[in-house]
Amino acid sequence: MSSRVILNRKSDVNRVLSDPFSHTQRLHHLHRTTTKSFFEYIHSIGIMESNGNLVKHVEKQTTRVLFCGPHFPASHEYTAEYLQNHPSTKVDVLSFEDVRKDIANYNVCIVKSIRLDSDIISCTAQMQLIMQYGVGLEGVDIDAATKHGIKVARIPSDVTGNSTSCTEMAIYLMLGLLRKHGALLVNIARGGIVDYEAVINNLESGHLGGLGTDVAWTEPFNPDDQIFKFKNVIMTPHVAGVTEHSYRSMAKAVGEVVLQLHAGLPLTGIELVN
């Protein structure tokens, strides 16, 4: 059975153009969650006029995407590039200081390294989705977002290639510690899973032969931390998952979700946590 929807009457076409969201509700059962991109989906459902021409989707509203903070600029640059042919979407980046006062103007928030607490979330007015450009959601008050009816999501690492590059970093850190005596500790997950005081004490006693870590117990990290007095510590600045491939993949994931959200379609390719 064809998934094409034929709009035989001019009134049908006008209804879709004036209120595309009501029409998309009838199309949810056709959505393929694993194989089709947003673009493939729109073409596969074929919203057609009776003469066979594809109906131009005229949007009256803009879905606005907020990237929090200037760090990791490739994140917003690649996403804007991915969405550049979609004038119904707009990608902005704001300083941490401006997020609170301007967040009410946005539909999607990409948190990156900001702490999105209940105070900031309470300032939202039309927010539909809070999303991490990656997997870490420690800085998001998920309960507050849920209370305000806002979905929270991460991008699975197997989608972005993040898990592969992090595995490579773990191997590099292990290789860097091979010449050290005693037990070796490698961490490429989250700094908070390691007992900082225990690490310091065991490095001082020599029981711990070395520490290789891509993550810190506090971020931003204190450059004067006593951990650097140890010669058997290798520390990298949380960059194991930062690759051209992963950033392009995450930009695609963000772009797809923005387009799905704008069209009123089910959100796919991300992992919702609430």
pLDDT of residue 57: 45
Q: Are residues 122 and 253 in the same domain?
A: yes
Strands 183-187 and 208-213: parallel
CA–CA separation, 215 and 221 (whole Å): 9
Q: 173 and 152 share a domain? A: no
- 254 shares a domain with 124: yes
Q: Are residues 131 and 81 in the same domain?
A: yes
Distance CA 101, CA 120 (A): 9
| Same domain membership, residue 87 and residue 152 | yes
Pairing of strands 89-94, 183-187: unpaired
pLDDT of residue 12: 44
Residues 171 and 209 in one domain: yes
Q: How far apart are CA 245 and CA 237, in angstroms?
A: 19
- What was the pLDDT predicted at 14? 44
Question: What is the predicted pLDDT for the residue at 129?
Answer: 92
pLDDT tens string, the chain, 274 residues long: the values are: 433 344 443 444 344 444 444 444 433 333 334 445 555 544 554 444 444 444 444 444 889 999 988 888 888 888 889 888 998 899 988 888 888 889 999 999 998 888 888 889 999 989 999 988 887 887 888 999 999 999 998 888 877 777 788 888 888 888 877 765 677 888 888 888 888 888 899 899 888 888 999 888 888 888 888 888 998 898 888 888 888 888 898 899 989 999 999 989 998 888 888 8
Residues 168 and 127 in one domain: no
What is the pLDDT at residue 106?
A: 93
Report yes or no on 57 lying in a domain: no
Does the global pTM surpass 0.85?
no
Are 215 and 91 within one domain?
Answer: no
Domain that holds residue 144: 63-156+244-272
Per-residue pLDDT, 40: 55
Residue 54 lies in a domain: no
Same structural domain for residues 130 and 75? yes
Asked if 16 and 6 touch (Cβ cutoff 8 Å), the reply is no
In a domain, 58, yes or no: no
Same domain, 147 and 166: no
> Within a domain: residue 13?
yes
Alpha carbon 166 to its chain's center: 17
82 lies in the same domain as 148: yes
- The CATH code of the domain that includes 177 is 3.40.50.720
Say if 144 falls within a structural domain: yes
Residues 6+ apart with CB under 8 A from 21: 263, 264
The first and second tokens of residue 264, run together, are 């009123």
3 state DSSP class of 90: strand
- CA 204 to CA 208: how far, in whole Å? 8
Number of compact structural domains in the chain: 3
Enumerate the β-bridge partners of residue 109.
66, 130
pLDDT score of 111:
87
Residues 121 and 195 in one domain: no
Q: Does residue 113 lie within any of the structural domains? A: yes
- The string of DSSP codes covering 212-263 is EESS-SSSS--TT-GGGG-TTEEE--S-TT--HHHHHHHHHHHHHHHHHHHH
> Does residue 146 lie within any of the structural domains?
yes
